[in-house]
Amino acid sequence: MANTSAVYARIDSELKNDAEGILAQLGITPSSAIQMLYSQIVLQRGMPFEAKLPESRPVAIGSMSREEIDAELLKGIKSLDAGKTYTVDEIDEELAKAFNI
């Protein structure tokens, strides 16, 4: 018999239920999933996925305060005054790069 150890973790109940529902559909027990995760950590010598903060996304104007909207508009006016203008195609290209859209 393999030498085994217990791993205890506290996680959100809804997250646990959602994840275990998916694992059940895949035919994988929670213990097997944890074993798979640990195996990948060892094989890759780190997390088997990229752990980073999400990229910033454009903010909907409805979630901005009046002051934030005014500040953004002022940036645009200053940019125009400085002669910085862009074509629609240039803006589309920059947005596609910056936000993967």
Q: What is the pTM of this model?
A: 0.51
Report the pLDDT averaged over residues 90-96.
88
* Per-residue pLDDT at 82: 92
Q: Which domains does the chain show, CATH number per domain?
A: 1-52 (1.10.1220.10), 61-99 (no CATH)
**What is the three-state SS of 34-70?**
HHHHHHHHHHHCCCCCCCCCCCCCCCCHHHCCHHHHH
Quick check: 55 and 99 in contact, CB under 8 A? yes
Burial call 25-38: b when 16+ CB within 10 Å, e when fewer: eeeeeeeeeeeeee
- How many residues in the chain? 101
Say if residue 5's pLDDT is above 80.
yes
* Per-residue pLDDT at 58: 67
- The model's pLDDT over 44-92, given as tens digits with 9 standing for 90+, comes to 999 998 887 776 666 788 888 899 899 989 998 999 999 988 889 998 8
